[in-house]
Amino acid sequence: MTQQLRVVCLGGGLGAPTAMAGLRAHTDDITGIIAVTDSGRSTGKVRIALDVPAPGDIRNAIAVLAEGDPVLRKLFSHRFETDKSIELNGMAFGNLFLAALAQQEGSFLRAVEEAARLLQIRGKVLPVTLYNTHLCAKLADGSVVEEEVNVRGEGKARIERIFLRDADVKAAEGTCEAIERADLITLGPGSLYTTVCACLLVPEIARAISEARGLVVYVANTTTQPGQTDDVSLSGHAAAVLDYLGGSGLDVALLNDDPPPPHLRDHHAEQGMRYLDPTAGEIARIEALGVRVVTAPVIDKWSGPRELWRKQDTIRHDATRLASALIALLAEQRPRLRAVQ
C-alpha cells in the first residue's frame, strides 16, 4: 500500500464513491469532497424538513469508506419501505442519521465527522460547502429553473449555464487544504452539471483545483444523461469542466476505451442514453482545449443494469479498473511531483 499517496475525489452520487472505493486499495489518505445540492428523493425531504445541506451523497461516500460494524454500515444505507407514509417510504436512514447529528452537534460538518467516526471510515469525507444552497440553471430558451431536481429534469430546453442560488458560498473547512496537498485530484465520474460542475461553483474549490500541484483528472462519463447532457459530446463534457474550473487547471481527461457489450449499450439507449465513444475526432477536440487525453478500459461490463431508487442508471465505471488507470497515470507524474515537493 502506498501510504504517502494523497488523493482527493470530488463529486457525488455513485461516481466519486466508485473512485474512492477503488483507490482505497492503494492508499489510506483519501478525502472525498462531496456535492450537497441534491434536492430530490429522500435527500430533498430531509433538506426541507430539517434545513441542512443535502446529506445523500455524503451518506454514499461515508458508506464506501466505512470499516466499522457491518450491521451499522448496512443500516446507514437502509431505505424504509412502507405504503403507509409517503414521506417515509424510500427514506434513507443515513440521511436522517446525519440530520439528527447536525441538530445534536449544531453543525453539519461536525455531523459528518461524527458519522465518519462511528462508522470507522478509512479516509475522510467532507461536504464541498456547509451552505444549504440550491443549484439553478439558465436554459437555452432564456428561462431559469431552480433546485437540482428541476435542473436535471427531462423535457426542458438545453442547459446553458448553472449557478448557485446564494452568492458568496464558501468552501467547507478542510476542503481547500486537502486539494492543496493532494497528489491526485479526481473530478467525477458523475452527472456533469448537477454533481461535478456543481461542486466547482464554490469559487474557493475551483480556484484551489486550478492552482493545485497534484494531477487533476476528469473521469469522463460513459453516456449522455437525459435532462442534462442529451446533446453534449465527450469534448463538450471536458470543455464544461474546464470552463467551471475558470479555464485552466485540468490536466487529463480519462476516457473509457473498452466498448460495452451490445446488450448493455442497447439497454441504456432505450433509456435515452447515448454511449460516448472516444473517437479520434473527440480526442483531438479535447486536446485542442489543452487537456491531455488518456484512454483506458475502466467500465464495468459484467454486472448489468442496476435498479436505482428513482434515479437513472448508466454504464458505470469499475472501481478496480478505474483505480488501476489512475495509479498508472500518477506513476507517470511522480518525477514532476517530487520536483515540486
Taking the C-alpha atoms of residue 312 and residue 229, their distance in angstroms, rounded to an integer, is 13
pLDDT the model gives residue 303? 78
Burial class (CB in 10 A: 0-12, 13-18, 19+), 132: middle
CATH 3.40.50.10680 domain residues, the chain: 6-35+173-340
Rounded to the nearest 10 degrees, what angle do helices 56-65 and 108-118 cross at?
A: 30
The mean per-residue pLDDT over the stretch 90-100 comes to: 89
Give the number of C-alpha atoms closer than 13 A to the C-alpha of residue 37, restricted to the C-beta side.
33
Type of residue numbered 138: K
**pLDDT at residue 44 is higher than 90:** no
pLDDT the model gives residue 41? 66
pLDDT the model gives residue 313? 67
User: Which cell goes with 294?
Assistant: 488518456
pLDDT the model gives residue 338? 37
pLDDT digits (tens, 9 = 90+) for 305-339: 555 444 566 788 999 999 999 999 998 875 444 33
pLDDT digits (tens, 9 = 90+) for 174-200: 999 999 999 999 999 999 999 999 999
pLDDT digits (tens, 9 = 90+) for 206-224: 999 999 999 999 999 999 9
pLDDT digits (tens, 9 = 90+) for 230-266: 999 999 999 999 999 999 999 999 999 999 988 888 8
Strands 215-219 and 184-187: parallel
The top-level CATH class assigned to 6-35+173-340 is: alpha beta
pLDDT the model gives residue 2? 41
189 neighbors 238 (Cβ within 8 angstroms): no
